[in-house]
Amino acid sequence: MAATINETRVIEAVPPIAVEETEVSEAMQTARYCTLEESLGLIFGALTVGYIVMSLAGLAG
């Protein structure tokens, strides 16, 4: 199990701003990549189904 590290830095600004840096685990990076990949497939599939339905509607009309 990967541990996450939370560190807080203060950026020199007026007023000071605290920035939290969190290490992203390899499993989370893989999950994000797979979600993006699946999203593109879903969009392509929806466009394909829409094209087929519109083509059939055009032939019927």
DSSP run (H or E) holding 17: strand 17-22
pTM (whole model) above 0.85: no
**What pLDDT score does 52 carry?**
97
Query: How does residue 23 score in pLDDT terms, banded at 50, 70 and 90?
Result: confident
**What pLDDT score does 8 carry?**
58
DSSP run (H or E) holding 19: strand 17-22
